[in-house]
Amino acid sequence: MSYAGLNGKVALVTGAARGIGAATCRRLTEEGCKVVAVDVLVDELAQTCAAMPGEVAPIVADVAREEDCDRMVADAVARFGALDLFVNNAGVIGPRLPITEMPVEEFDRVHAVNIRGAFMALRAALRQMQAQGRGGAVVNVASVGGLSAQPFSCAYGSSKRAIIGLSGTAAQENGQHGIRVNAVCPGAVDTPMLAPAMSRAGDAGQAFKGVPIARAADPSEIAAFIAYLLSDEASFQTGGVYPVDGGRTI
Ligand SMILES: NC(=O)c1ccc[n+]([C@@H]2O[C@H](COP(=O)([O-])OP(=O)(O)OC[C@H]3O[C@@H](n4cnc5c(N)ncnc54)[C@H](O)[C@@H]3O)[C@@H](O)[C@H]2O)c1
């Protein structure tokens, strides 16, 4: 497992304490990256980072706060001297309610992290990469929920569709800077975020009916694709929107 061009790069991953973010930190450290792991969960982040095989610096920051987004990038540069790779992964799912029952506060809370926060984090990372003038790569973590409509998911689904739009705009604006920007759309992934949905579904056979690979992904399977997109082996891929979903969206 070794993708070209990752060894020695500096990567920042948000939502890194658990789930897909933690798996991505692990994969990138295995690839020889120096990783800055960002999360709001202080203790869990420290534990996750302590268990990593390579060089990882934990930074506690809330991507819903503009000053935190700017600080996490500044801290990454102070620690490792640059920022080459950015994984815009932090997200929350919000309540499972029909539109008619969704409180505005809950809608806003999901959007504050999943799209407003993702925008502020992306902006801070792109400013740094552009100033360095040596290119870079970004992966925005969207969802199959941003590709196809799902009931009771108005806040989450709309935020994930929005991040696909944000990702495309960023790709358009940054090709000239040698910065590639892609979006991945995971299907069901076995993380703490998915646990309530799985326990609601009860029978896994029912939950994955019609999905060619009829199971949830391990977070490492999403991390592997993110690592590929960040690597030089994906050197002609930008502006892409990639389902990593066991075939759910075919
Ligand atoms: N698990 C799935 O089935 C699935 C499917 C599609 C997309 N996704 C997306 O993948 C990403 C990671 O999800 P996951 O399943 O690993 O979730 P998770 O809940 O297991 O982990 C998300 C991490 O993000 C952190 N986080 C949340 N808000 C934050 C904030 N404001 N600032 C910094 N960190 C914050 C959490 O503390 C947590 O550690 C999310 O964007 C999610 O929407 C997940």
For residue 1, the model assigns a pLDDT of 64
| Confidence (pLDDT) at 206 | 79
Question: Which pTM does this prediction carry?
Answer: 0.98
Work out which ligand 1 atom sits closest to the CA atom of 142: 7
Pocket test of ligand 1: the residue of 69, 191, 241, 249 to mutate, having most ligand atoms within 8 Å of its CB, is 191
| Domain positions in the chain | 10-190+219-242
From the CB of 94, is ligand 1 less than 6 Å away? Answer: no
Is 156 assigned a catalytic role? yes
250 Cα: distance to centroid of ligand 1 (angstroms): 24
**Any atom of ligand 1 within 6 Å of the Cβ of 207:** no
Q: What is the pLDDT of residue 203?
A: 72
Which numbered atom of ligand 1 lies nearest the CA of 117? 31
Binned average pLDDT, 10 residues per bin, the chain of 250 residues:
94 98 98 98 98 96 98 98 98 97 98 98 99 98 96 97 98 98 98 86 80 96 98 98 96
Ligand 1 center–CA 12 separation, angstroms: 15
Do residues 52 and 76 make contact, with C-beta atoms less than 8 angstroms apart?
no
**β-strands 136-141, 34-39 pairing:** unpaired
20 neighbors 248 (Cβ within 8 angstroms): no
What architecture is the 10-190+219-242 domain classified under in CATH? 3-Layer(aba) Sandwich (3.40)
Q: Which two tokens stand for residue 111?
A: 């959007």
Ligand 1 centroid distance, CA of 113 (Å): 10
- CA 201, CA 21: separation in Å to the nearest integer? 24
Q: How far is CA 96 from CA 53, 100, 132, 154, 176, in A?
A: 37, 12, 42, 9, 41
Backbone angles phi, psi at 59, to 5 degrees: -130, 125
**Positive/negative CA dihedral, 136, 60, 21, 156:** negative
